[in-house]
Amino acid sequence: MQMRNVELMVGGFMVMGIIALVLMAFRVSGLSMEAGGETYTLKARFENLGGLTERAKVSMSGVTVGKVSRIYLDKEWYMAVVEMEIDSNAMATLSTDTSAAILTAGLLGEKYIGLTVGAEAEYLADGDWIHETQSAIVLEELIGRFFLDKAEG
């Protein structure tokens, strides 16, 4: 009887471990089991994405307000276009002079888009463009510039 209790405890521990691994996989991959609410789409052009990927978060003041839904190359401007799905509850806060910057979580962490609200009275609507953008800071380029400056001077 005691051996059966030990086997049940080990089995329960294994099931809890598998559930924890599945939940961690969902958390790391950015997938969600919850149904998404209403969203609207905003677009922005960037010269350098620096490793930004689809499903990256879009945040405002540290609060996640959306995600990157699509990335493609604009063949007319030769710049990367990022389409973002923004929660509809943030719709009345993003003015037409909102700026977007590609930021890094930590020194070498994941890339995400940070939105900064402007002061205009009009708000962005579905399908609008964010014109003020700041591309990603690429660590390799900074190091290369540093060594190039040292070699010249």
Band (pLDDT 50/70/90 cuts) for residue 30 is low
At 108-130, the pLDDT tens digits run 788 999 999 999 999 999 999 99
More confident residue, 146 or 36: 146
Domain residues of the chain, as ranges? 1-34, 39-143
| pLDDT of res. 87 | 94
How far is Cα 143 from Cα 153, in angstroms, rounded to an integer?
Answer: 16
Residue 107 has pLDDT above 80, yes or no: no
Number of H helices, E strands in the chain: 2, 8
Residue 34: what pLDDT? 56
DSSP assignment, residue 143? H
Q: What is the pLDDT of residue 148?
A: 81
pLDDT confidence tier of residue 105, bands split at 50, 70 and 90 = confident
With 0-12 / 13-18 / 19 or more C-beta atoms within 10 angstroms meaning exposed / middle / buried, residue 72 is exposed
> Could you report the per-residue pLDDT of 42-85, keeping only the tens digit for each?
999 999 998 999 999 999 999 999 999 999 999 999 999 999 99
> What pTM value is reported for the model?
0.75
The pLDDT of residue 24 is 86
Q: What is the pLDDT of residue 37?
A: 77
The stretch 139-148 carries a mean pLDDT of 82
Find the angle CA(23)-CA(29)-CA(32) to the nearest 5 degrees.
60
Q: What is the pLDDT of residue 153?
A: 62
Q: Which amino acid is at 84?
A: M
**pLDDT at position 39:** 92
